[in-house]
Structure 1
Amino acid sequence: MANDTSYMIQLTANKLFSERGFADVTIDDICAGVGITKGTFYYHFKSKDDLLLNFFENAGRFSADGIMATLAISDDYWEKLWSSIQLAVDWATSSGKELLRSVLIFDLQRGMFSFYDQQGIVNLHTLLIKKGQEVGRFRNPNTPKELYDNTKTIFIGTLFKWCSSDVPDYDREYFKKTVASLLSVSDPTD
């Protein structure tokens, strides 16, 4: 029951944040949307900020849920890496610009960027980059960790650009071409 209530609070908050933005949603709005009291809200979450932190923590699910499928898709390290990155893109863009904007602002205020710094993601992506370098698929000689960090920077930068623009859809192709260029993928069209 408690998990169901927490889930409903999170789901409702995400929906409201997506529609109105984090700053324009009150705890009263969330409680009314779920049909609970403030006491019930505070039993599950300390504050509205906790809902965004929980949103970050759930980011790891995109990797946990899709990781096996990502690794099984191909023997090609570029395809594996790009499929894994797409899981992060899907997670980040799925709730819309308003919620993502709130998440990015929240992250900026705390100096985090936690949704792309989870150790499992870091390890997976650096390993895929290393293996891709070993077989000649990625020709950039920088360390896998440096290339991961640069990929993360490009990812966050393109998310910021999308959130601050009037463009309705995230430009995945631009992001893909930029990452392929960074890694010096031997044939990025494959």
Structure 2
Amino acid sequence: MTAKKITTRQKIVAAAKNLFSTHGYSETTINDIITAVGITKGAFYHYFKSKETICTEIIDDIRNDYQNIFEALPKNANPLEKLKAAIRQILELNCSGQWVNCKLLLHISTQAHLLKSPIKQKLDSFWKWYIDQYRQLIIQCRDLKLIGNKLSAQQQTDLIVSVLIGNIWTKTVFDTSADNEIVDYIIEKL
């Protein structure tokens, strides 16, 4: 079996993802990206018109990664099991160190007010889609009485998303993460 060849375009995207997740979008320059990949500016511009273009493509890639997670949830599982599975998988990927999507989204989102319109629009679209994935699962859980209704479905969704975002922050700052027991406890309290 031969190893899949990584294209120059893929190397540029991977380097930009790592740099954006470490330093943020605003602090990363095209020179940083080309230095990390070991290519010329001409090679960069052959694949991407600008830093903005690569960022919007990265946001699309991230959405695809998350979409794959939600689509791979067990079809025969109930909505509560699917909710727990999605959260656990995202937390595990975030903790693995191999997946920078969570940290990258946190960095880019905190700089959203500084970003150009196409990036901000992509980011807004991603967050609406992402939050809706949880909202749909929570509504299904509520319909089947798998979770409580002391809070509204929107409040429950906000709580889950806040816990996930908080986990990204604590992983970044303290190198710790929520474990399955914490996830189960939070969902139990919904």
TM-score of the superposed pair, with normalisation by structure 2: 0.69
For 2:87, the aligned partner's letter is I
1:44 pairs, out of 36, 44, 47, with 47
Q: Alpha-carbon deviations, 1:113-154, whole Å to 9, x = none?
A: 7596242x3333222211211222101343323311221112
Q: Does 1:160 align with 2:169?
A: yes
For 1:107, the aligned partner's letter is S
Q: How has the CA–CA distance of structure 1 residues 95 and 30 changed in structure 2, closer, same or farther, with 3 Å as cutoff? A: farther
CA distance in 1, matches of 2:182, 2:51: 32
Aligned length: 176
Q: How has the CA–CA distance of structure 1 residues 33 and 75 changed in structure 2, closer, same or farther, with 3 Å as cutoff? A: closer
CA distance in 2, matches of 1:172, 1:48: 36
For 1:173, the aligned partner's letter is N
Q: Indicate the RMSD between aligned Cα atoms, in angstroms.
A: 3.5
C-alpha contact 2:95 2:171 (8 A) present in aligned 1:
no
Matching residue of 1:140:
149
How do 1:27-66 and structure 2 match up within 5 A? 27-48=30-51, 50-66=53-69
Gap regions ≥5 residues in structure 2: 1-5, 114-119
Q: How has the CA–CA distance of structure 1 residues 96 and 104 changed in structure 2, closer, same or farther, with 3 Å as cutoff? A: farther
How do 1:66-81 and structure 2 match up within 5 A? 66-72=69-75, 74-81=76-83
Matching residue of 2:116:
none
Matching residue of 1:173:
180
C-alpha contact 2:15 2:36 (8 A) present in aligned 1:
yes
Matching residue of 1:88:
90
Query: 1 or 2 for the larger relative contact order (CA 8 Å, sep ≥6)?
Result: 2
Q: Secondary structure at the match of 1:125?
A: helix
Q: How has the CA–CA distance of structure 1 residues 171 and 8 changed in structure 2, closer, same or farther, with 3 Å as cutoff? A: same
Kindly state the Cα deviation for residue 39 of structure 1 after the two structures are TM-superposed: 2.2
Percent identity for Structure 1 against Structure 2? 21
Gap regions ≥5 residues in structure 1: 184-190
2:14 pairs, out of 11, 16, 32, with 11
Q: Alpha-carbon deviations, 1:3-59, whole Å to 9, x = none?
A: 9432220123334566x6458765334324434211221343354465444333222
CA distance in 2, matches of 1:142, 1:157: 20
Q: How has the CA–CA distance of structure 1 residues 25 and 96 changed in structure 2, closer, same or farther, with 3 Å as cutoff? A: farther
C-alpha contact 2:20 2:108 (8 A) present in aligned 1:
no
CA distance in 2, matches of 1:99, 1:133: 29
TM-score of the superposed pair, with normalisation by structure 1: 0.69
Q: How has the CA–CA distance of structure 1 residues 88 and 102 changed in structure 2, closer, same or farther, with 3 Å as cutoff? A: closer
For 1:145, the aligned partner's letter is Q
Q: Alpha-carbon deviations, 1:88-122, whole Å to 9, x = none?
A: 33454454698855542331121577596242x33
CA distance in 2, matches of 1:12, 1:90: 22
C-alpha contact 1:59 1:91 (8 A) present in aligned 2:
no
C-alpha contact 2:12 2:33 (8 A) present in aligned 1:
yes
